[in-house]
Amino acid sequence: MTVEQTLAELVSIDSVSARLNAEIISYLEARCEALGFTVERFSHIDETGTEKISLVALQITSQAEAYAAVELALVGHTDTVPYDPTWTEALKLTESDGKLYGRGACDTKAFIAATLTAIESIDLKRLKKPLALVFTADEEIGCLGAKRLADARPFSARYAIVGEPTSLQPMCAGKGYCLAEITVRGREAHSAYPQLGASAIFRAARLINRLEEIAEDLKSEARAEFDPPCTTLNVGLIEGGTAKNIVAGECRFTLEWRTIPGQESDHVLNLVKRAVDDLQKLDPDFICQIDAARADESFETRADSPLVHFLEESSNKPSGTVAFGTEAPSMIALGADAVVFGPGDIRVAHRTGEFVPIDELNRCVAILRRSIEHLCL
């Protein structure tokens, strides 16, 4: 089967994160079992009560300890972001101009198709060191499947290639992703008599001003290899108050921040708490609740890792960094030097008409095959 045929089959299976992913897992399971892999399912229940499955397929070598320590893990997420219903060919891989279009064609089914094709071109019996294929659930909604695997520890790995569209550039560091929901309380009153109340919106505005100052201060700690080079923060959503003539009793907003490696994920949270303390000194009634919703670590794999070297050489591209969240931290938790790598461009992912260039897809097959032979033989 060609890599394009495999990609067409993967794209035809609707695996939007909100759906059950049993169908795509069964497909991958069958492909892996046909190649002699030992497969194991790991499931979790998502917040809508739907069962989501991640699959670990191990190529066991003669060593009995293979289960414990694999040399190389190839990791691809099975879920995709939703697609617009007007994109009628979202599930039908379509070729045009040297590109293959379809939901997930770029992010990240191209990498999975390249992985299966690379594996099928290798005589696996020749491998002396164990290889793992890892197909995860719910990456697009918070890397949930990979995090569960990192907790379950079904294996440890020396090296991991995490499939994401990087235009075949090895990415050896990535920013963390953290989110908090902040609720500022006030006291409602008729707006003709504001002195009888306390506006939660004015209070939230004071806090948000401080957050903007924190964002400025964060620029002093820079890592030149990132774009932008510092930890960034964003207030993306805000709502508050109940009517134009009522002093607002409550105001809620989201605070999101993306940390550079080497900075603790709670560093920003501590700065925010300090700002709240300062505001409370000026206004003893200032009541604010901070609910930390997410704290995904940044990651960094040493530049002199043999995996980074090998992928730089094979792709003929220097290693870089990513600003988006990936499953690399979970692989690092399993002991791996993790590199994010795959065909397609992240800038076309997640949009109607996402695509993977055919030449990149084929080059990825060749690079993955050489990586397996280089590391596992």
Could you give the residue numbers annotated as active site?
A: 79, 139
- Sole binder of Zn ion in the list 71, 107, 296, 300 (CB under 5 A): 107
| # residues contacting Zn ion (CB under 5 A) | 3
DSSP strands (E only) in 186-231: 189-190
Q: Per-residue x/- marks for Zn ion, 175-204, CB under 5 A? A: ------------------------------
Residue recorded with tokens 């009888």:
196
182 vs 340, beta carbon nearer Zn ion = 340
As measured in angstroms, the least distance from the Cβ of 373 to Zn ion is 26
- Which H or E run contains 376? helix 358-376
Q: Using an 8 Å Cβ cutoff, are 316 and 142 in contact?
A: no
Part in contact with Zn ion (CB under 5 A); list of ranges 89-97, 106-114, 212-220, 357-365 = 106-114
Pairing status of strand 355-357 against strand 99-101: antiparallel
Part in contact with Zn ion (CB under 5 A); list of ranges 3-11, 80-88, 104-112, 121-129 = 104-112
Q: Using an 8 Å Cβ cutoff, are 54 and 135 in contact?
A: yes
As measured in angstroms, the least distance from the Cβ of 139 to Zn ion is 6
As measured in angstroms, the least distance from the Cβ of 164 to Zn ion is 5
Part in contact with Zn ion (CB under 5 A); list of ranges 23-31, 34-42, 50-58, 103-111 = 103-111
Give the amino acid at 215: A
Residue closest to 377 by CA, chosen among 166, 177, 125: 125
SS3 breakdown of the chain: % helix, strand, coil, rounded to 5? 35, 30, 40
The answer to whether residue 231 forms part of the interface with Zn ion (CB under 5 A) is: no
Omega of the bond leading into 117 within 30 degrees of 0 (cis): no
Distance separating alpha carbons of residues 19 and 78, to the nearest angstrom = 11
Residue 220's contacts (CB-CB under 8 Å, 6 or more residues apart) are 230
Part in contact with Zn ion (CB under 5 A); list of ranges 45-53, 162-170, 192-200, 334-342 = 162-170
DSSP strands (E only) in 149-262: 156-163, 171-174, 177-185, 189-190, 232-234, 238-240, 246-247, 250-258
107 vs 188, beta carbon nearer Zn ion = 107
The answer to whether residue 79 forms part of the interface with Zn ion (CB under 5 A) is: no
111 vs 159, beta carbon nearer Zn ion = 111
108 vs 301, beta carbon nearer Zn ion = 108
The answer to whether residue 108 forms part of the interface with Zn ion (CB under 5 A) is: yes
215 vs 331, beta carbon nearer Zn ion = 331
Looking at residue 298, what DSSP letter applies?
P
Q: Using an 8 Å Cβ cutoff, are 328 and 299 in contact?
A: yes
135 vs 253, beta carbon nearer Zn ion = 135
Give the amino acid at 81: V
Looking at residue 194, what DSSP letter applies?
G
Part in contact with Zn ion (CB under 5 A); list of ranges 105-113, 169-177, 289-297, 329-337 = 105-113
As measured in angstroms, the least distance from the Cβ of 134 to Zn ion is 14
As measured in angstroms, the least distance from the Cβ of 165 to Zn ion is 7
Contact footprint for Zn ion (CB under 5 A): 107-108, 164
